[in-house]
Amino acid sequence: MGFVEAVLLTIVTAATPLLLAAAGELVAERAGVLNLGLEGMMIMGAACGFAGAYATGSIMVGALCGIAAGAVLAAVFAALTLGLAANQVATGLALTIFGIGLAGVVGSPFVGERIVAAPHLSVPLLGDLPLIGGVVFGADAFVYLSVALVAGIAWFLARTRAGLVLRAIGENPTAAHALGLPVRRIRTLAVLFGGACAGLAGAYLPLAYTPFWVSGMTAGRGWIALALVVFASWRAGWLMLGAYLFGAITILQLHAQGAGVGIPPQLMTALPYLATVVVLVVVSRARGRDRRAQPQSLGLAFVPER
Amino acid sequence: MRGIIAAAAGLAITYSGVVGAAAQGNPVQDKPVADKLKVGFIYVGPIGDYGWTYQHEVGRRALESAYKGQIEASYLENVNEGPDAERAIEQLVRTGHKLVFTTSFGFMDATAKVAKKYPNVFFEHATGYKRDKNLATYSGRFYEGRYILGQIAAKMSKKGVIGYIGSYPIPEVVSGINAMVLGAQSVRPDMKIKIIWANSWYDPAKEADVAKALADQGADIIAQHTDSPAAIQMAEARGIYAFGQDSDMVKFGPKAQLTAIINNWAPYYVERVKLVREGKWVTGDVWGGLSSDLVQMAPYTNMPDDVKKLAMDTEAAIKSGKLHPFKCPVVAQDGTTVDCKGGQNLADEQILGMNFFVKGIDDRVPGK
């Protein structure tokens, strides 16, 4: 594999966990639920994903365990915020703290153990295409899944009736309720979906990225994913742009350092954040009509009148 | 002065059966010996990091088994550096801990502040420089190990380029890089080093990214001053070599790890607890290296016998004091010879405050 291919593959790998987590959160937020527990769900996904893969030797089982762990934590969140109308911000923050702690406990028997990382696709001929061959035909399954997931979400939100219903609930749950739409059921499903995606995103780290478990290995990626959703103006396509941009600059600044570019590394480290925010803000401004991109009922509790 | 305190402490035991010294405002323990000594640890990371904090935890566990039933050793993990730390340390003190180890540089001010407030409690701060009557400091001469890594790297590298994952450009890290380069140059003068700063102590995925970038740019030996086994594991996958950090990481790279620098805190912790129990604890600064076993080398693996022998000889020479990684003259990057304040070698404070790269490194110290 050539230098450029290797770099591109690293970029895709760096972007994938962000993309997976952010895609799920995007769906939840479009339904009007702000779940700040992303980091907690991710780290639980990482711990349980590793545990599952270590116990069975199967990456697939690990991924499913990660998804389940994220969804279970999301169910707790849904029960509190949708069932009991608890404050979403406070509950989400609590979920993060809870998830990080619980993941440390779940993962403690696995510290110092290792597994075989998820295999990369290997397509003869196509994989040898210059520049893009290694990325397009030589990544791991999670990468393809994340791309398919984002495409699926974009299609679902924009082109299906169920997607329209979900968006309507996110904009105005009272009106949706008056139309007879099951607001809380759909919000619950959206939150569970978000949790499952976050769990999968977390599981990606120990299953494919760095095949071992250590506490706190998500290292704040959940927060970055949250920010990406906002700066992508709640749009799946821009989310993808944002995630890959963030991944690209994260990796390229490392290469720039290695090549001896005379910019202080502290500034370099800040670059991915700066650049992603600037680009996404400029893009969404240029589109003009997205001033009111934020789902109108985002973060507000909804209690149906009986 | 130390003698006086120790003598006073001895008297106190004789007369009242109390551990500690009451004379002249020296630290006092008011608990009788019969009581269990409670020892507390403050960790900056999770005990499951398999790196820095993990090794302190290994030390704490060694303490528990060394004094089974006679002491209680508790810990608080994931404590943020800064104001949070102060609260955490105070919490340990209020719950009756008489000896508190704070195990990260960033806990320095908080520890010093709490130590002033509770003169009857003994504090020990790792890697810092602020001391008090009841606040001692301790650290490891990890640069000694890095000199050996440099020699091994120079022998094992085909391309002649070391890839180095930096955390933050603080003196401890800078001196480590210098020691490694000096070690490498002692074997192969044209050895190069490529440094990429992760700007983090601990972010496994990012550490892996840095390691990949270094490998992609031509480094075939990876060294790190970050805390997770991500780089070793990446080296294993890429079929290149790497060195473990903090603990023996050979499990993560059975074919990749050449050796590792192990932070072995256990003997120090056992010794300090013994002193408190005997009422002989005094403040001070311990900077232990290979000779005191505070720094240990993991078994030399994946290398031919002659390289192994070289490494072991160097290790023995450093242990016996025959060899010092910063033997004068040390020439800085800009060509000037560094003042030799320690006689034949650089003085300890020069190493502790090192903010320049030595000759042969192309990269600049960030911010210089």
In this structure, of A142-146, A169-173, A277-281, B127-131, the range with the lowest mean pLDDT score is A277-281
pLDDT at A276: 86
State mean pLDDT over B259-271. 96
Burial of A108 (0-12, 13-18, 19+ CB in 10 A): middle
Which residues from chain B sit within 8 angstroms of residue A3, using beta carbons? 216
| CATH class of domain segment(s) A3-292 | mainly alpha
- Residue of B199, B210, B220 to mutate when probing chain A, most A C-beta within 10 A: B199
State mean pLDDT over B18-31. 41
Q: Which residue has the higher pLDDT, B150 or A304?
A: B150
State mean pLDDT over A210-228. 92
In this structure, of A132-141, B69-78, B175-184, the range with the lowest mean pLDDT score is A132-141
pLDDT-derived band at B301, boundaries 50, 70, 90? very high
- According to CATH, the superfamily of the domain at B2-141+265-292 is Response regulator (3.40.50.2300)
pLDDT at A287: 66
State mean pLDDT over B48-74. 93
Tell me which DSSP letter residue A116 carries: P
State mean pLDDT over A71-83. 97
Contact A214 B208 (CB under 8 A): no
Largest CA distance in chain B: 69
In this structure, of A45-59, B31-45, B260-274, B294-308, the range with the lowest mean pLDDT score is B31-45
Q: How far is A130 from chain B (nearest CA, A)?
A: 17
The tens digit of pLDDT for each residue in A139-163 reads 899 999 999 999 999 999 999 999 9
Q: What percent of chain B has pLDDT over 70?
A: 90
Assigned token pair, A220? 């704040």
The tens digit of pLDDT for each residue in B340-357 reads 999 899 999 999 889 999
Q: How far is A9 from chain B (nearest CA, A)?
A: 10
Closest chain B residue to A109, measured at CA: B48
In B200-250, the DSSP E strands lie at 221-224, 241-246
Neighbours of B3 (CB within 10 A): 8
pLDDT at B9: 40
**CA-to-CA distance for A233 and A237, rounded, in angstroms?**
10
**CA-to-CA distance for B345 and B330, rounded, in angstroms?**
9
Q: What percent of chain A has pLDDT over 90?
A: 70
**CA-to-CA distance for B172 and A248, rounded, in angstroms?**
31
- Across chain B, mean pLDDT equals 89
The tens digit of pLDDT for each residue in B302-332 reads 999 999 999 999 999 999 999 999 999 999 9
pLDDT at B200: 87
Neighbours of B87 (CB within 10 A): 13
pLDDT at B16: 34
Q: What percent of chain A has pLDDT over 70?
A: 97
State mean pLDDT over B236-244. 95
Assigned token pair, A184? 């809380």
pLDDT at A288: 61
State mean pLDDT over A115-127. 82
pLDDT at B33: 46
B244: β partners: B260
Give the dihedral sign, CA A251/A256/A260/A263. Answer: negative
Closest chain A residue to B161, measured at CA: A258
CB burial readout B209-226, b (16+ within 10 A) else e: bbbbbbbbbebbbbbbbb
Pairing of strands B192-197, B295-297: unpaired
Residue B10 pLDDT > 60, yes or no? no
State mean pLDDT over B3-29. 39
pLDDT at A292: 64
Instruction: Give the start-to-end residue ranges of the domains of chain B.
Output: 2-141+265-292, 143-262+299-352
The tens digit of pLDDT for each residue in A3-34 reads 888 899 999 999 999 999 999 999 999 999 99
Query: Quick check: pTM over 0.90?
Result: no
Tell me which DSSP letter residue B282 carries: -
In this structure, of A5-19, A254-268, B158-172, B260-274, the range with the lowest mean pLDDT score is A254-268
Cis peptide, bond prior to residue B329, ω within 30 of zero: yes
Residue A280 pLDDT > 60, yes or no? yes
**CA-to-CA distance for B348 and B137, rounded, in angstroms?**
14
Neighbours of B304 (CB within 10 A): 10
Of A114, A219, A255, the CB nearest to B217: A255
Residue B26 pLDDT > 50, yes or no? no
CB pairs under 8 A between A and B: 120
Residue that is written with structure tokens 């399954």 in the block: A141
Closest chain A residue to B51, measured at CA: A214
Q: Which residue has the higher pLDDT, A231 or A39?
A: A39
Pairing of strands B257-263, B295-297: antiparallel
A99: Cβ–Cβ under 8 A, 6 or more apart, which residues?
A37, A39, A40, A41, A42, A43, A44, A73
Of A211, A215, A264, the CB nearest to B48: A215
Q: What number of residues does chain B have?
A: 368
Q: How far is A11 from chain B (nearest CA, A)?
A: 9
Same fold, B2-141+265-292 and B143-262+299-352: yes
Q: Which residue has the higher pLDDT, A157 or B3?
A: A157
pLDDT at B238: 92
pLDDT-derived band at B336, boundaries 50, 70, 90? very high
**CA-to-CA distance for A224 and B258, rounded, in angstroms?**
36
State which fold the B143-262+299-352 domain adopts.
Answer: Rossmann fold (3.40.50)
Pairing of strands B37-42, B71-76: parallel
Q: Compute CA distances A169 → A230, A235, B365, whole Å.
A: 18, 16, 54
Instruction: Give the start-to-end residue ranges of the domains of chain A.
Output: 3-292
Q: Which helix (H) or strand (E) holds B142?
A: helix B142-156
pLDDT at B223: 97
Closest chain B residue to A4, measured at CA: B216
Contact A269 B197 (CB under 8 A): yes
**CA-to-CA distance for B80 and B90, rounded, in angstroms?**
14
Which residues from chain B sit within 8 angstroms of residue A217, using beta carbons? 204-205, 228
Q: Compute CA distances A202 → A12, A227, B63, B82, whole Å.
A: 16, 17, 35, 29
pLDDT at A291: 57
- Residue of B76, B201, B206 to mutate when probing chain A, most A C-beta within 10 A: B206
Residue of B88, B92, B140 lying closest to B266 (CA atoms) = B140
A281: Cβ–Cβ under 8 A, 6 or more apart, which residues?
A231
pLDDT at B12: 37
Contact B213 A10 (CB under 8 A): yes
In this structure, of A126-140, A192-206, A230-244, B1-15, the range with the lowest mean pLDDT score is B1-15
Closest chain B residue to A97, measured at CA: B78
pLDDT at A1: 65
pLDDT at B67: 94
Residue B216 pLDDT > 90, yes or no? yes
ipTM: 0.87
pLDDT-derived band at B50, boundaries 50, 70, 90? confident
Q: Which residue has the higher pLDDT, B86 or B367?
A: B86
**CA-to-CA distance for A36 and A51, rounded, in angstroms?**
25
Q: Compute CA distances A275 → A231, A268, B207, B222, B280, whole Å.
A: 11, 11, 21, 29, 57
Give the helix ranges, DSSP H, for chain A.
3-30, 38-56, 59-78, 88-107, 133-137, 141-159, 161-171, 173-178, 183-204, 221-231, 236-258, 265-286
B343: Cβ–Cβ under 8 A, 6 or more apart, which residues?
none
pLDDT at B19: 34
